[in-house]
Amino acid sequence: MLTAKLPHQVCGQYTGTRPTLLDRKFYMESADTICYCFHVTKRKILNFIRLHRPRVASQISECGGAGTGCGWCVPYLKRYFEDAACGQAAGSESMTPAEYSAQRAAYIQAGHGTPPPGAMPSSPKAEPPSSV
C-alpha cells in the first residue's frame, strides 16, 4: 500500500516533532541508503527528482529501480516527491540509518515484501545489531 504519510509531513503544514540541529547528525543523511533493494541513496533520489521532475511519485522508480523491490522505501519516495511538489526541502527522517535498516528488516521478516536476490541486507539475520 502506497498511502502512508510520515507523521510530521503534510504539505505546507508542520504536524509533529522536528529534530533539532543537534539531533540531525543522528538522522538520515544524503549518502545514506533509502532503497536497500537497489542500493539507491537519498542523494540519488533527491537529485533525480530535482533534475527529472517526475509528474507522479512512481516515476522515481526510474532512479535505479528505487521502490520496485520489497516496497519498504515507497512511503519515503512518496514523501520526497511531495516535499519537492510543495517546494520544500526533503525532510529529515525521524530515525537513524540503523533504525531505518532494522525497520526494513522487520518489514521483510513480517512478510510485507520480498527483496530481489542480492539485495542488501539479504535477510533480517544479516542486520548488524542496533547500537541505539
**What is the nearest approach in angstroms of ligand FES to the Cβ of residue 21?**
28
**What is the nearest approach in angstroms of ligand FES to the Cβ of residue 67?**
5
**Quick one: which of 46, 50, 40, 57 has its CA closest to 4?**
57
The amino acid sitting at 107 is Y
| 67 binds ligand FES, rule: CB under 6 A | yes
For residues 37 and 67, give the distance between their C-alpha atoms in angstroms, rounded to a whole number. 8
| 45 binds ligand FES, rule: CB under 6 A | no
- Considering CB under 6 A, how many residues would be counted as binding ligand FES? 13
| 80 binds ligand FES, rule: CB under 6 A | no
| 105 binds ligand FES, rule: CB under 6 A | no
First to last CA, the chain: 29
